Amino acid sequence: MREWLVFDVMGVIFTVGDDTNELLVPYVQKFAPSLTSDEINQAYLEASLGKVASCGFWKTLGLGERYPQIEQDYLESQLTLDADFPAVAQKLQKDYHLALLSNDVSEWSAYLRKKYDLNQYFEEIVISGDVGLRKPDRAIYELLLRRLQCRPENSVFIDDRQKNLIPAMREGMRTIQFKRGCDGSEMCGSFEVKSFKQLPGLVAHLFGV
Task: Read off the pLDDT band of 180 (50, 70, 90).
Answer: confident
Name the strand (E) or helix (H) holding 31: helix 25-31
- Residue 189 pLDDT more than 50? no
Please say whether the beta carbons of 7 and 101 come within 8 A: yes
Predicted pLDDT at 191: 86
DSSP 3-state of 114: helix
Question: Each residue of 56-97: pLDDT tens digit?
Answer: 999 999 999 999 999 999 999 999 999 999 999 999 999 999
pTM of the full predicted structure?
0.93
- Residue 206 pLDDT more than 50? yes
Please say whether the beta carbons of 156 and 203 come within 8 A: yes
Would you give the distance in Å from CA 12 to the centre of its chain?
A: 7
Predicted pLDDT at 202: 93
Q: How far is 46 from 105, CA to CA, in rounded Å?
A: 9
